[in-house]
Amino acid sequence: MNTIIAFILMFGLLVFVHEWGHLIFAKRSGMLAREFAIGFGPKVLYFTKNETLYTIRLLPIGGYVRVAGEDPEIIELKPGHHIGLEYNSDGYVKQIIVNNKSKHPTAQVIEVERADLDHDLVIEGYEIGENEKLTFKVARDAVFVMDEKETQIAPFDRQFASKTVGQRAMQLFAGPMMNFILAILIFVILGLVQGIPSDRALIGDVQADSPAHDAGIKSGDEIIQIEGNSVTTWKEFTDVVKARPESPIDMLVLRKDGEEHALTVVPKKATDMEGNEIGQVGVTLAFEKSFFGTFKYGFVQTYETTKLILVNLGKLITGQYSLDMISGPVGIYDATDQVVQTGFMNFLMWTAMLSINLGIINLVPLPALDGGRLLFVGIEAIRGKPIDPQKEGIVHFVGFALLMLLMIVVTWNDIQRLFL
């Protein structure tokens, strides 16, 4: 149960922060954000505030912000349509009744000849049985009413396509950007709570019955020399240890009381993730408290994690890693279960890493992802005019279908790893 709650909270936080970035920059540029959704599929919870429908949907496989003009509007008024009109106090149309007009007895029913709800905001038509053409001015915040559900109209200046290249690019980039900011914030919190890794070769925990324990190394010791050579960083210490499995290493350590002790440790032989033999002594790096260093730690950890993910992504693209190494929701849930067992701090670290991963994946220039849409905006900036929206829509639709297919394959692989 703890894992289920942790997974739901983690998933909700990552998607919420990502989509909130899209939402904030959409609203700041004047776009009409129709919906802010966590998940896909049927609505579970929903409410409307400031023009936007906020929903939590059944399937926890992502989220979206639906901005006016990004996809074809469902309702289109064509010549010959009979519609009902309700007016506000200024005489502008506030409701356009598309069907079930009998439920709106005060509505004025007309036959449409022409409607422009993008630029002129007018509807031209005739009262039923009359020959005089009338022009009706439409309020900017008017709504369609279809099946008793309201959908706000979107004048062109409220649509995604009406905004500058910079505004559209920022709205698309804002989601991944917020994932990186969330990771930085989590790393800063971790640093404030548990401290930050020491810059020195300072020993934290020493495992029982480990080579370090047998050699007399204690928590709080600082390695200052190895084989007579000065040591100032943890990397210098671990590089020597890894390179000398089962070989004695003479060290000089500085104790908390200021005394120096000469010790000899024999690293045990182990195998790293790439199958190479390395030495290990069974110690961890110590953490230190530093208020200002904590903020640097947040940025450095985010940068290092980003670099690691990009390297692994490159290996996947070049075929050095197979598709079987990718995890979907099932695999992430299983990994989360293992991380939760190790404590809350490790769970926070895992959340930060997944947030960075989500930001990077969304910036990959593939159709339907933020990166793919940014690519089209970039092409528009270079060529000076947008690509045909219908053609772009087809590309994104095909890309989305392929991504869903990849999700199915990855999920099947996850299930096989768990149960086969």
Six-digit token string for 248: 């004695």
Which of 160-174, 188-202, 285-299, 323-337 is predicted least confidently?
323-337
pLDDT mean over 357-361: 93
pLDDT mean over 129-158: 92
- pLDDT at 38 (0 to 100): 93
Decide if pLDDT at 229 tops 70.
yes
- pLDDT at 324 (0 to 100): 63
pLDDT mean over 164-190: 96
- pLDDT at 420 (0 to 100): 61
- Give the residue numbers annotated as catalytic, written as ranges: 19
Q: pLDDT digit string (tens) for 84-138?
A: 999 999 999 999 999 999 899 999 999 999 999 999 999 999 998 888 999 999 9
Alpha carbon distance 81, 73 (integer Å): 17
- pLDDT at 403 (0 to 100): 76
pLDDT mean over 282-294: 89
Six-digit token string for 215: 């050699």
Decide if pLDDT at 323 tops 70.
no
Name the more confident of 304 and 129: 304
pLDDT mean over 217-239: 92
Decide if pLDDT at 61 tops 60.
yes
Mean pLDDT computed over every residue of the chain: 89
């190494």: which residue's tokens? 325
pLDDT tier at 318, thresholds 50, 70, 90: confident
Q: pLDDT digit string (tens) for 21-34?
A: 999 999 999 999 99
Domains of the chain with bracketed CATH: 82-153 (no CATH), 197-288 (2.30.42.10), 291-419 (no CATH)
Name the more confident of 114 and 312: 114
pLDDT tier at 400, thresholds 50, 70, 90: confident
Decide if pLDDT at 59 tops 90.
no
